[in-house]
Every structure is written in structure tokens, then in C-alpha cells.
């Protein structure tokens, strides 16, 4: 069994966080206060902390010829859940920072990926591997 991680991130508006993580992504809300909200982020504990003076990094690295923003975080889903999430986001007309695409097609490590931003501008990556055994494999 995989041990859940805990990640705390800053957001500038908790209501926007509720709309994004709760309503859009479907994460179950846990404990909260006027300054933070716990989320069940696919079995992991994500906490959105209020910081109205937040300044996010605009750093990008080139991966597969695409600008990938750092820092970013996300989750690795199974393939069908990844496709279902893409459909839900498209239905809600969410703007992808990086449109869904497949890396290493037909090779070991074949994976789908896409990026979106929350209401604050935090970058999230959602991935899925055709064969999960290649999650940590070297290419």
C-alpha cells in the first residue's frame, strides 16, 4: 500500500480553492478553518493555506519541446480515470496550460499528461501510465 503524502500549498482565495479542488476536481473537503482547507486529493492530504500576498514562480523548463512550469504538483491516475478527468475538464471548459498528450507512445514508460492551474495559479500535472510498472523506470 502506498503511504499518502501531505502537501500544503498557498492560495490567495479559499472560495476559489473550494470551487477548484472541491467542485471542479471532486476532491472531498476535510477539516478547515478561516485560513486553510484539507482536501482528499486522490487519497493524499492536500492543504490549501490562505496567503493573500502570494507571488508564484514563472519559471519554466523545456520538456519534449514544451514549456513546463515549475514548481508544479499532481497525481498519477489510472488511464481510465485520467481520460475521465480530461472529459470532465473539457465539459467545464477548463483551459489547459498544456493540452493532454501522450509521451513515449508505444514505448516502455508510455504516459499521458496534461497541466492545468487552480484559481491562484498553482500548476497541477495529471499523469497516467499505460503500464504502471514503468512509473519509476529509467528510459
Boundaries of domain holding 88: 59-139
What CATH number did the domain enclosing 93 receive?
3.10.180.10
H-type alpha helices, 1-139: 14-17, 79-91
Question: Which residues, in sequence order, are CB contacts of 72 under 8 Å at separation 6+?
Answer: 115, 122, 123, 124, 125
Asked if pLDDT for residue 43 goes beyond 80, the answer is: yes
Same domain, 64 and 94: yes
Average pLDDT, the chain: 94
Please give the model's pTM, rounded to 2 decimal places. Answer: 0.93
Count: domains in the chain: 2
Mean pLDDT of 20-40: 98
Radius of gyration of the chain (CA): 15
Same domain, 93 and 128: yes
Question: Which residues, in sequence order, are CB contacts of 54 under 8 Å at separation 6+?
Answer: 10, 11, 12, 120
> Higher model confidence: residue 37 or residue 2?
37
Amino acid at each position: 500500500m502506498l503511504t499518502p503524502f501531505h502537501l500544503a500549498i498557498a492560495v490567495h482565495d479559499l472560495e476559489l480553492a473550494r470551487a477548484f479542488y472541491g467542485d471542479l476536481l471532486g476532491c472531498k473537503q476535510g477539516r478547515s478553518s478561516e485560513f486553510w482547507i484539507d482536501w482528499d486529493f486522490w487519497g493524499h492530504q492536500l492543504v490549501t493555506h490562505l496567503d493573500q500576498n502570494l507571488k508564484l514562480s514563472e519559471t519554466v523548463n523545456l520538456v519534449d519541446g514544451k514549456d513546463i512550469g515549475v514548481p508544479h504538483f499532481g497525481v498519477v491516475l489510472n488511464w481510465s480515470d485520467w481520460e475521465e478527468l480530461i472529459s470532465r475538464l473539457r465539459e467545464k471548459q477548463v483551459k489547459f496550460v498544456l493540452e493532454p498528450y501522450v509521451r513515449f507512445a508505444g514505448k516502455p514508460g508510455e504516459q499521458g499528461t496534461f497541466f492545468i492551474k487552480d484559481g491562484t495559479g498553482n500548476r497541477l500535472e495529471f499523469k497516467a501510465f499505460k503500464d504502471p510498472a514503468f512509473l519509476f523506470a529509467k528510459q
